[in-house]
């Protein structure tokens, strides 16, 4: 048998392309896991979901599921041994769970990449270390609260370092006198204080990085939030080409810094002065990438499955001059009959029974032939 570099690479499990029919494990059973499972099925893979809660959206489209806690060492081992690779759809999985799983199977992305992306201070420090600007920030504990407010100034935003999502775990500080109440409202958890950016727009880049370090990105996405929850994503973002190139290049550097495998998303603010500032990285497929299901040649879900399976990335080519994705949040699902009755709206529902306020129930994607069409 040939023993050249190529031969060695082929026997290295890190570089093996999984064959169709292989089992892929996903930690987390929400809508992202559901859409990953559907894409995996299209590529011939079999899915095993691991989640602590019963009745998860992904269970109904996955061949197997395990309901167990993320710190259940025995169940994690059984799960790891049942799949060729494990990935995540939920970023608050303890990094320790990934370390445990990695003793028995491939884990993509790695526990270290996840640990950095989970912590707002670590991720912003990482971004700066590769030359990507961020809002001014400072670490906050009970001891450093006042000095942080002095350094960063007001208005600013206090956020818990970990576990925030959809604007949860955040408090605005309008003037220094608000600081103590804001910190108390976050139960004095370890925090980051960030300068408040009166941005012109918010954009994100959804990218994929292969096991060999190869990088692909979709077009830069423009995002509008309502009540801190993503409401719509539109491509292309209304920013100059040089800024779009800068955002994609910054995202590539962040993927390299994390030695990341799979799809990830980076959120940025664009200031009135045309500056790009890193906000956060999501170590998973992202709500702002849902438009790619209809709007791009290979969706973010296919890209992620391809990457974690050791396959080459698909084409990120956009299929229309403009694509708009609208989230269906809470009672928005009441409009489903109208959406179904209208042409040109692709409906995705996540199978959640109860439409609680602020809950992401589904989304709608529209492709426009004319970039300026309303
Ligand atoms: N430093 C900031 N300045 C201005 N707006 C902010 C700032 N940080 C967050 N926001 C707003 O709050 C939203 C949610 O904050 P983010 O840090 O992305 O947390 P998460 O998405 O995890 O809840 C952002 O998309 C943005 O609209
Ligand atoms: Mg965010």
pLDDT tens for 97-144 read 999 999 999 999 999 999 999 999 999 999 999 999 999 999 999 999
Q: What is the extent of the structural domain holding 305? A: 201-368
Reduced to 3 states (helix: H, G, I; strand: E, B; else coil), residue 230 is strand
Closest ligand to the CA of 269: 1
- Is the distance from CB of 312 to CB of 302 less than 8 angstroms? no
User: Is 297 found in the same domain as 265?
Assistant: yes
Q: pLDDT-derived band of residue 12, with 50, 70 and 90 as boundaries?
A: low
User: Is 206 found in the same domain as 350?
Assistant: yes
Q: Is residue 373 part of a domain?
A: no
User: Is 235 found in the same domain as 308?
Assistant: yes
- Is the distance from CB of 297 to CB of 319 less than 8 angstroms? yes
* Mean of pLDDT over the chain: 95
Q: Final residue of a domain: which of 195, 210, 242?
A: 195
Q: Is residue 207 part of a domain?
A: yes
pLDDT of residue 4: 35
User: Is 207 found in the same domain as 183?
Assistant: no
Residues with CB under 5 A from ligand 2 (ion): 267
- Using alpha carbons, select from 19, 26, 27, 64 the residue that is nearest to residue 45: 19
Q: Is residue 172 part of a domain?
A: yes
Residue 36, phi then psi, degrees to nearest 5 = -65, -40
User: Is 144 found in the same domain as 18?
Assistant: no
Q: Is residue 120 part of a domain?
A: no
Q: Is residue 205 part of a domain?
A: yes
pLDDT digits (tens, 9 = 90+) for 362-372: 999 999 998 76
User: Is 68 found in the same domain as 9?
Assistant: yes
User: Is 100 found in the same domain as 39?
Assistant: yes
Sequence-separated (6 or more) residues with CB below 8 Å from residue 242: none
pLDDT digits (tens, 9 = 90+) for 238-284: 999 999 999 999 999 999 999 999 999 999 999 999 999 999 999 99
Ligand 1 pocket check: which of 127, 204, 279 to mutate, most ligand atoms within 8 Å of Cβ? 279
Residue 366 Cα, ligand 1 centroid: separation in angstroms? Answer: 26
Q: Final residue of a domain: which of 86, 107, 128?
A: 107
User: Is 186 found in the same domain as 207?
Assistant: no
Q: Is residue 124 part of a domain?
A: no
pLDDT of residue 144: 97
Half-sphere exposure of 297 (CA within 13 A, CB side): 8
pLDDT of residue 373: 64
Ligand 1 pocket check: which of 127, 157, 182 to mutate, most ligand atoms within 8 Å of Cβ? 157
pLDDT digits (tens, 9 = 90+) for 72-96: 999 999 999 999 999 999 999 999 9
Tokens of 262: 């799979």
pTM of the model: 0.95
Reduced to 3 states (helix: H, G, I; strand: E, B; else coil), residue 51 is strand
Q: Is residue 17 part of a domain?
A: yes
pLDDT of residue 11: 55
DSSP line for 48-98:
EEEESSSS-TTGGGSSEEEE--TT-HHHHHHHHHT-SEEEES-TTS-HHHH
Residue 205 Cα, ligand 2 centroid: separation in angstroms? Answer: 12
- Is the distance from CB of 272 to CB of 200 less than 8 angstroms? yes
Q: Is residue 115 part of a domain?
A: no
- Strand 156-160 and strand 191-195: the pairing is antiparallel
Which CATH number is 74's domain given?
3.40.50.20
Structural domains counted in the chain: 3
Looking up tokens 């990695």 gives: 102
User: Is 33 found in the same domain as 10?
Assistant: yes
pLDDT of residue 93: 96
User: Is 35 found in the same domain as 73?
Assistant: yes
Residue 291 Cα, ligand 2 centroid: separation in angstroms? Answer: 17
Question: Ligand 1 site: residues with CB under 6 angstroms?
Answer: 135, 157, 164-167, 194, 196-197, 202, 225, 228, 267, 279-280
User: Is 320 found in the same domain as 205?
Assistant: yes
Q: Final residue of a domain: which of 195, 216, 233?
A: 195
Residue 47 Cα, ligand 1 centroid: separation in angstroms? Answer: 33
User: Is 57 found in the same domain as 12?
Assistant: yes
Residue 342 Cα, ligand 1 centroid: separation in angstroms? Answer: 33
Which protein residue's CA is at the shortest distance from atom 15 of ligand 1? 167
Reduced to 3 states (helix: H, G, I; strand: E, B; else coil), residue 239 is coil
Residue 198 Cα, ligand 1 centroid: separation in angstroms? Answer: 11
Closest ligand to the CA of 161: 1
Which CATH number is 206's domain given?
3.30.470.20
Q: pLDDT-derived band of residue 348, with 50, 70 and 90 as boundaries?
A: very high
């Amino acid at each position: 048998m040939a023993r050249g570099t190529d031969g060695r690479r082929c026997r290295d499990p890190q570089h093996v392309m999984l064959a169709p029919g292989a089992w892929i494990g996903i930690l987390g059973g929400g809508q992202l896991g559901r859409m990953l499972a559907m894409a995996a099925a299209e590529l011939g893979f079999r899915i095993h979901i691991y989640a602590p809660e019963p009745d998860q959206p992904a269970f109904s489209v996955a061949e197997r599921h395990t309901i167990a806690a993320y710190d259940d060492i025995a169940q994690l081992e059984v799960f790891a041994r049942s799949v060729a690779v494990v990935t995540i759809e939920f970023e608050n999985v303890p990094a320790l769970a990934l370390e445990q799983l990695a003793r028995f199977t491939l884990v993509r992305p790695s526990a270290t990449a996840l640990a950095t992306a989970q912590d707002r201070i670590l991720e912003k420090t990482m971004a700066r270390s590769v030359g990507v600007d961020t809002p001014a920030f400072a670490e906050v504990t009970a001891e450093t609260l006042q000095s942080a407010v002095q350094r960063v100034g007001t208005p600013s935003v206090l956020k818990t370092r970990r576990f925030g999502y959809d604007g949860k775990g955040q408090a605005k500080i309008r003037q220094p006198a608000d600081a103590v109440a804001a910190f108390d409202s976050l139960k004095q958890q370890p925090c980051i204080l960030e300068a408040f950016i009166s941005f012109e727009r918010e954009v994100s880049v959804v990218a994929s990085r292969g096991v060999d370090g190869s990088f692909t990105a979709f077009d830069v996405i423009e995002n509008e939030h309502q009540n801190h929850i993503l409401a719509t994503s539109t491509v292309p973002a209304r920013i100059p080409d040089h800024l779009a190139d800068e955002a994609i290049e910054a995202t590539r550097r962040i993927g390299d810094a994390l030695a990341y495998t799979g799809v990830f998303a980076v959120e940025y603010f664009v200031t009135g002065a045309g500056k790009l500032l890193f906000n956060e990285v999501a170590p998973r497929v992202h709500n702002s990438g849902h438009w790619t299901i209809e709007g791009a040649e290979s969706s973010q879900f296919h890209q992620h499955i391809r990457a974690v399976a050791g396959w080459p990335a698909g084409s990120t080519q956009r299929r229309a001059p403009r694509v708009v994705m609208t989230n269906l949040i809470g009672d928005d699902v009441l409009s489903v009959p109208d959406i179904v009755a209208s042409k040109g709206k692709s409906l995705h529902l996540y199978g959640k029974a109860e439409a609680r306020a602020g809950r992401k129930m589904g989304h709608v994607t529209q492709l426009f032939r004319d970039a300026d069409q309303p």
